[in-house]
């Protein structure tokens, strides 16, 4: 009897590939609509969402942007993008720029898994500590980062056509300290 090899790995994390661009755009669209509807003006939200087309993701991957894809049963279910921190006062730290999951996969522990994998990748790059910016009005996201041990380390704002969005900055020390 011939048995074909079958993978038992149903959940995995891997670097983004050019073939992921459609899924990355869809994940971000779904996550943004779920998280920011009612927090960001509807027209402004739509404008912010359409900026991240599959072509934008293709360009990001080609430029070497670090993106981890959460894959569940062969389907992309979330992602994190990360790199050197761009936030003033966090020199030498890493930053998770974005961490989004499809709404159907939220609240199941996958976000923590993606966060920890991105944090480990940042530490492997020699970056000391970690920072994340999150929309202050997005209480579930703030609670998520607080539950992961993040400490509020500052405030920031982002200007949009509709006005200012207030951001909270969460920080984590280097784990080897």
Q: Return the CATH number at 81.
A: 3.40.630.30
**CA angle (167 as vertex; 166, 170 as ends), nearest 5:** 155
- Alpha-carbon span 96 to 24, nearest angstrom: 16
- Average pLDDT over all residues of the chain: 90
Tell if the pTM clears 0.85, that is, is over it. Answer: yes
Is residue 137 a part of any domain in this protein? no
Q: Which residues contact 38 (CB under 8 A, 6 or more apart)?
A: none
- Domain contains 96: yes
The answer as to whether 49 is a domain residue is: yes
Task: Give a yes or no: residue 176 inside a domain.
Answer: no
Q: Alpha helices, DSSP H only, in 37-158?
A: 42-50, 54-62, 110-124, 139-147
Looking at the domain assignment, is residue 133 inside a domain?
no
144 found inside a domain: no
Residue 13 has pLDDT above 70, yes or no: yes
Tens digits of per-residue pLDDT, 81-140? 999 999 988 888 999 999 999 999 999 999 999 999 999 999 999 998 999 999 999 999
Any domain includes 86: yes
User: Residue 45 belongs to what domain range?
Assistant: 11-128
**Could you count the other beta carbons within 10 Å of the beta carbon of residue 54?**
15
How many domains does the structure of the chain reveal? Answer: 1
The C-alpha atoms of residue 116 and residue 94 are separated, in whole angstroms, by: 13
* Residue ranges with strand state E in the chain: 11-15, 66-72, 75-84, 94-101, 130-135, 151-160, 163-172
């Amino acid at each position: 009897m011939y048995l074909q090899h079958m993978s038992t790995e149903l959940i995995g994390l891997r670097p983004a590939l050019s073939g992921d661009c459609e899924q990355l755009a869809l994940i971000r669209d779904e996550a943004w609509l779920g998280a920011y509807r009612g927090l960001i003006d509807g027209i402004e939200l739509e404008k912010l969402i359409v900026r991240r087309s599959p072509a934008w993701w293709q360009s990001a991957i080609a430029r070497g942007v670090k993106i981890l894809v959460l894959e569940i049963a062969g389907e992309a279910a979330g992602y994190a993008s990360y790199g050197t921190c761009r936030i003033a006062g966090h020199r030498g730290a890493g930053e998770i720029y974005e961490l989004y999951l499809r709404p159907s996969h939220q609240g199941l522990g996958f976000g923590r898994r993606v966060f920890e994998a991105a944090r480990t990748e940042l530490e492997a790059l020699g970056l000391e500590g970690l920072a994340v910016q999150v929309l202050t009005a997005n209480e579930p996201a703030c609670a998520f980062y607080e539950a992961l041990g993040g400490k509020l380390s500052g405030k920031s704002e982002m200007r949009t056509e509709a006005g200012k969005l207030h951001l909270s900055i969460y920080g984590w020390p280097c784990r080897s300290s």
